[in-house]
Structure 1
Amino acid sequence: MAIAELGVVVLDCPDPRALADFYARVLGGSVEGEGDWVDLKVSGGQSLAFQAAPGFVPPKWPAPDRSQQFHLDLTVEDLDTAEKEVLALGARPLDAEDHSRSFRVYADPAGHPFCLCAC
């Protein structure tokens, strides 16, 4: 028997609305709220929340002194197509362009690492 259920994954960031809009364009869904807390409701999936964090310092990947702490794995049909789309939205690549792997690592506009993973 579980003690709790996962309510939402929350990402600290300097601009909650901007980061929620980025992930809404990547994952779909609807952005709800304004100010220091914004939710992204994803149809048929886990919701994400974005919380204002004054003095936010983005994680660094890979770097033991500024650990990524967590990251999102996002499953895609076509890595090349998805890569072009997330880069156009403001993501930036974090690893060398190794296209032989089944995943690629990026940072969202606030600096959180995420991976695009082939189905």
Structure 2
Amino acid sequence: MSIAKLGAVVVDCPDPVALGRFYAELLGGEIEDDGEGWVDLKGVPGAPLAFQLSPGHVPPKWPSPEESQQFHLDVTVEDMDAAEEQVLAIGATVLDAADRKRSWRVYADPAGHPFCLCAC
């Protein structure tokens, strides 16, 4: 028996609308902006995502043994190369794609949060 259920994964960022749009392009769904620094991503299977205004947001450094990456999302894709092309087109940056034969590659969203494309 659990104590609670997960309500949402909330991501701090400097521009919740822009980051919400990025993840809507990546995962599907629609953003719902409350106009006060909070954006929900609606209509996506899995744990709900929300984006919260954080004016002092400092992106994680990846990889960095001295600092935490804070969190990262793993997203599953069918075609790694096609997905890479698409996420780069919507504003992601490559953090680690050195070993192109492995089943995952690491990128940063526009606010600097790491996420992995996984063909697992």
The aligned residue for residue 13 of structure 2 is 13
1:44 maps to a residue whose letter is P
TM-score, normalization: structure 2? 0.94
Q: What is the root-mean-square deviation of aligned Cα atoms in Å?
A: 1.1
Q: Distance in 1 between matches of 2:55 and 2:110?
A: 16
- Count, aligned residues: 119
Q: Distance in 2 between matches of 1:60 and 1:96?
A: 16
Shift of 1:94: 0.4
Q: Which residue of 2 aligns with 1:63?
A: 64
Structure 1 match to 2:36:
35
Unaligned runs of 5+ in 1: none
Residue 25 of structure 2 is matched in structure 1 by: 25
Q: Secondary structure at the match of 1:80?
A: helix
Q: Deviations over 1:50-104 (max 9, x none)?
A: 0001111000111023311210000000000000000000100001432110000
Which runs of 5 or more structure 2 residues have no equivalent in the other structure? none
Structure 1's consecutive aligned runs of 4 or more residues displaced over 2 angstroms after TM superposition are: 42-46
Q: How does 1:1-119 map to 2 (within 5 A)?
A: 1-33=1-33, 34-119=35-120
